[in-house]
Chain A
Amino acid sequence: MKVLFGHKDHLVRMAALFLAGIVVFLVLKAVFVPKGFGVYGHYRAGALEENRAHPVAYAGRAACVECHSDVPETAKGGGHAFIRCEACHGPLAAHAGDPGEHQAVRPESKVLCARCHAPNVARPARFPQVDPAEHAGDEACTACHTAHNPRQQKEGAK
């Protein structure tokens, strides 16, 4: 075997191995790091375009109110007045754009109301909480409460 570096030959070989490792690493880096990474920050620049290309899902309260001006009227003064429409109704941008083509559905109140009002220790104690089964039995919450202004009791409520 040829010895080039005298008694340090094995160290030089080890160094060469490390160097080879670093070269492999640099090649992998060149191959695997996506294009545009780091242009603006620690992410792919192209991701911005991709995100922008996603259709908008939420229309926002202002849009809803343009057509459903009666709802804020009803809600006025109630505990739900400040809750965004789509927090309860879900994303409805398609409906707001073309209500004829995309119908909105009324939320299932037993599921919806419990999401915010079922008892939960993580909520401040003063937040109104009821046990749905105990409080409403089999009835829908909207049988007694007006969804947009729940303090208003519907006819027939006790």
Chain B
Amino acid sequence: MESILHGVEGYMYPNEMELQWSVLIVLYPFITGLVAGAFILASLERVFRVESVKPTYRLALLTALAFLLVAPLPLQLHLGHPERSLEMYLTPHTASAMAMFGFVYLWYLMAVLVLEIWLDYRRDIVRLAQTATGPLRYLYRAMTLGSYDVSEEALRVDDRAGYVITLIGIPSAFLLHGYVGFIFGSVKANPWWSTPLMPIVFLFSAIVSGIATVMLLYMAATRLRQATIDMRCLDTIARYLFYAFIIDFSLEMLDLVHRIYEADESFHTLDFMVKTRLYLPHIVVQIVLGTLVPLGLLALTQLVNLTERARRGTYALAGVLTLVGIFAMRWNVVIGGQLFSKSFLGYTTYKMAFATREGLLPAVLLMILPFVILWALVRLLPPWTDGREAETAA
């Protein structure tokens, strides 16, 4: 009790002193956001036929899959008893948004991502099933489902089916991440969260973070493969990032202005919190470092004629800062929403542990895991379209 009281200021209800939602719950919307964002970038190419971002289409899909596989893990770790999570499928609770997430997740994983990746890769899978050696061969054979038909007609069928799935996939991706925002936005007892704008803000920040991730991964992967970056592709992605970011920023500012103008009974408490405990993560990291600076950098690339090298550097810096900013946004929503008392009379402190079940260490490991999965996926299903796949596949 004494250790909890340390860090409490003013009046807190007893169940508010210690934060229930830890850094793992910060990771969860961050990771699902990357999934939705990466997928939406991939869909752009497909539905709107943006040829220039094609080199990242498959990479974006694999990125979405790698992060989606990790997305439920922070929740599992936070709740404990992972075996019980299956009960949300066996005895679905339709009145609970959190319980229905299992279905949103499963739908998105199986009906959208896995199917779309499979259809897009079918030609490669069939080729690899015939040429690969070693145990991997059996995996590829299983993935063909015993059908080796890669004739023109079959591929046309795939293309059409893939198109339909993408069309279904876009609202599904919106649902996936809009849902995460909804979970927070619908908590009417918490004024920091409760706003109908929350799902939309989450969605656009998701798109921003997903695009930034795919952009950075594309740059890093090309460098690792010692291939040349397709600047037309990179410029287009960066432009999308810029546009999406402007919308995201406007929405967040709209929310802010609305709160300030409305100034309801919680306003002084929240205002004080933002100016004290949340000053560094909210004002400095999220708004200045993670939003205004990358927006400025991206605007610079649009307004000034920079050399390719300078553009690459600017994009990389803007991308990293963007991710820092979006992570800070998740942090400020999740942690910030638990720092003040619902009595509006006091504040508590979040103390992150290190090597505990919900500490910093598992959070860092969970953040590394999707990259390991992505690495394996890229080995298994090389996404490159510049004719070098033969060597990487072997």
- 7 contacts across the A-B interface (CB closer than 8 A): A1-B148, A10-B147, A10-B149, A14-B115, A18-B110, A32-B90, A120-B14
Q: Are A28 and B90 in contact (CB under 8 A)?
A: yes
- B317 sits at the interface (CB 8 A): no
Contact status of A3 and B149, CB under 8 A, knowing A18-B110, A28-B90, A42-B93 = yes
- A38 sits at the interface (CB 8 A): yes
Bound-complex Cα distance A7 to B152 (A): 9
Which residues of A line the B interface, CB within 8 A?
A: 1, 3, 6-11, 13-14, 17-18, 21, 25, 28-29, 32-33, 37-38, 42, 120-122
Contacts of B135 in A (CB 8 A): none
Contacts of B311 in A (CB 8 A): none
Q: Are A122 and B17 in contact (CB under 8 A)?
A: yes
Contacts of B89 in A (CB 8 A): 25, 29
Contacts of B11 in A (CB 8 A): 121-122
Bound-complex Cα distance A21 to B111 (A): 12
Q: Are A9 and B149 in contact (CB under 8 A)?
A: yes
Bound-complex Cα distance A38 to B91 (A): 9
Q: Are B91 and A37 in contact (CB under 8 A)?
A: yes
Top 4 closest pairs, chain A to chain B, by CB:
A10-B147, A7-B153, A13-B145, A7-B154
Contacts of A122 in B (CB 8 A): 11-14, 17
- Give residues 140-161 of B contacting A (CB, 8 Å): 144-149, 151, 153-154, 156-158, 161
Bound-complex Cα distance A12 to B128 (A): 22
Shortest CB–CB separation between residue B361 and chain A, in angstroms?
31
Bound-complex Cα distance A121 to B161 (A): 62
Bound-complex Cα distance A11 to B160 (A): 12
Shortest CB–CB separation between residue B95 and chain A, in angstroms?
8
- Give residues 199-252 of B contacting A (CB, 8 Å): none
Q: Are B17 and A11 in contact (CB under 8 A)?
A: no
- B122 sits at the interface (CB 8 A): yes
Contact status of A10 and B154, CB under 8 A, knowing A25-B89, A122-B12 = yes
- Give residues 102-156 of B contacting A (CB, 8 Å): 110, 115, 118, 122, 144-149, 151, 153-154, 156
Which residues of B line the A interface, CB within 8 A?
A: 1, 5, 8, 10-14, 17, 89-91, 93, 110, 115, 118, 122, 144-149, 151, 153-154, 156-158, 161, 346
Contacts of B10 in A (CB 8 A): 121
Q: Are B147 and A13 in contact (CB under 8 A)?
A: yes
Q: Are A8 and B157 in contact (CB under 8 A)?
A: yes
Q: Are B146 and A13 in contact (CB under 8 A)?
A: yes
Bound-complex Cα distance A28 to B89 (A): 10
Residue from A8, A29, A38, A121 within 8 A of B5 (CB atoms): A121
Contacts of B151 in A (CB 8 A): 7
Q: Are A33 and B91 in contact (CB under 8 A)?
A: yes
Contacts of B13 in A (CB 8 A): 122
Shortest CB–CB separation between residue B97 and chain A, in angstroms?
15
Contacts of A32 in B (CB 8 A): 90
The chain B residue with its CB closest to the CB of A3 is B149
Bound-complex Cα distance A21 to B106 (A): 12
Contacts of A1 in B (CB 8 A): 146-148
Bound-complex Cα distance A7 to B115 (A): 17
Shortest CB–CB separation between residue B137 and chain A, in angstroms?
17
Shortest CB–CB separation between residue B324 and chain A, in angstroms?
35
Bound-complex Cα distance A33 to B8 (A): 44
Contacts of A38 in B (CB 8 A): 91
Shortest CB–CB separation between residue A134 and chain B, in angstroms?
15
Shortest CB–CB separation between residue B229 and chain A, in angstroms?
35
Contacts of A8 in B (CB 8 A): 154, 157
Q: Are B157 and A121 in contact (CB under 8 A)?
A: no
Bound-complex Cα distance A120 to B17 (A): 12
Shortest CB–CB separation between residue A152 and chain B, in angstroms?
30
The chain A residue with its CB closest to the CB of B150 is A10
Q: Are A121 and B154 in contact (CB under 8 A)?
A: no
Excluding A25-B89, A28-B90, 4 further A-B contacts by CB distance (< 8 Å) are A13-B147, A29-B89, A121-B5, A121-B11
Contacts of A21 in B (CB 8 A): 110
Q: Are A33 and B90 in contact (CB under 8 A)?
A: yes
Shortest CB–CB separation between residue B154 and chain A, in angstroms?
4
Bound-complex Cα distance A122 to B346 (A): 10
Residue of A10, A17, A25, A37 with most partner-chain B CB within 10 A: A10
Shortest CB–CB separation between residue B168 and chain A, in angstroms?
14
Shortest CB–CB separation between residue A127 and chain B, in angstroms?
12
Contacts of A42 in B (CB 8 A): 91, 93
Residue of A13, A28, A38, A121 with most partner-chain B CB within 10 A: A121
The chain B residue with its CB closest to the CB of A14 is B145
Contacts of B144 in A (CB 8 A): 10
The chain A residue with its CB closest to the CB of B10 is A121
The chain A residue with its CB closest to the CB of B154 is A7
Residue from B12, B91, B149 within 8 A of A121 (CB atoms): B12
Shortest CB–CB separation between residue B103 and chain A, in angstroms?
11
Bound-complex Cα distance A11 to B147 (A): 9
The chain A residue with its CB closest to the CB of B96 is A42
Shortest CB–CB separation between residue A82 and chain B, in angstroms?
21
The chain A residue with its CB closest to the CB of B156 is A7
